[in-house]
């Protein structure tokens, strides 16, 4: 059980006096606030606290089993997970970017298709790691959609018709094996 603070007291760092006013905001350049821990959403089973200079997070499940971890623990767990699924990255941010890069999607307005038959070149903002990805195309118009010119950088959506489109076209890609 975590003790609740009522009312909030803010200590003056110069002379040690305390303000009992209900503060609506603090100024990090002027105010120092110390707390043993913080609970969220009036829930004592989820809190953030300091332990020997390390910020730690606590969460309890329905059986009151407590899990405590630091950001360092989280980084290591994510790095191990990414490594176990074959993503080698020097840091967690790079691994997350790599995972996101293996799934792509977009919507193309009907007026963006040109030529006869109508086509549109999809160009990815970041390339896939290989051309071994699936492509799904769905459009408002009843067409026999297909694709061509598949590379790590994109592909061409083929409408297989000369007629103008009436609605937008959605596409998505997913690396095979993900």
Task: Decide: 73 and 59 in contact? Cβ < 8 Å.
Answer: no
Instruction: Read off the pLDDT of residues 128-173 as tens digits, 9 standing for 90 and up.
Output: 888 889 999 999 888 899 999 999 999 999 999 999 999 999 999 9
Global pTM reads 0.47
Q: Where are the domains of the chain?
A: 1-101, 103-175
Q: Are 159 and 118 in contact (CB under 8 A)?
A: yes
Q: Which two tokens stand for residue 7?
A: 């009312």
The fraction of the chain above a pLDDT of 90, given in percent, is: 29
Q: Which two tokens stand for residue 116?
A: 């006869």
CA-based nearest residue to 110, from 156, 166, 171: 166
Q: Are 170 and 137 in contact (CB under 8 A)?
A: yes
Pairing relationship of beta strands 133-139 and 54-60 according to DSSP bridges? unpaired
Taking only the tens of pLDDT, the chain with its 178 residues reads 444 444 555 666 677 676 555 555 566 566 555 555 565 555 666 666 667 766 676 777 666 666 666 666 766 776 676 666 666 655 555 655 555 557 888 999 999 999 999 999 999 888 888 888 999 999 988 889 999 999 999 999 999 999 999 999 999 998 876 4
Spatial CB neighbours of 130, under 8 Å, sequence gap ≥ 6 = 152, 175
């Amino acid at each position: 059980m975590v003790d609740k603070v009522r009312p909030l007291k803010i200590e003056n760092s110069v002379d040690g006096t305390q303000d009992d006013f209900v503060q609506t905001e603090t100024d990090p350049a002027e105010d120092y606030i110390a707390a043993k821990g913080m609970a969220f959403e009036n829930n004592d089973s989820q809190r953030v606290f300091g332990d020997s200079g390390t910020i730690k997070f606590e969460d309890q499940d329905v059986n009151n089993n407590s899990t405590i971890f630091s950001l360092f623990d989280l980084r290591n767990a994510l790095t191990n997970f990414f490594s176990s699924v074959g993503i080698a990255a020097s840091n967690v941010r790079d691994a997350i970017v790599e995972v996101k890069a293996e799934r792509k999607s977009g919507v193309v307005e009907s007026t963006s298709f040109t030529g006869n038959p109508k086509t549109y070149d999809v160009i990815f903002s970041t390339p896939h790691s290989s051309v071994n990805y699936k492509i799904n195309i769905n459009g408002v118009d009843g067409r026999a959609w297909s694709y061509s010119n598949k590379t790590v950088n994109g592909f061409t959506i083929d409408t297989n018709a000369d007629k103008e489109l009436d609605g937008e076209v959605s596409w998505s890609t997913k690396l095979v094996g993900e």
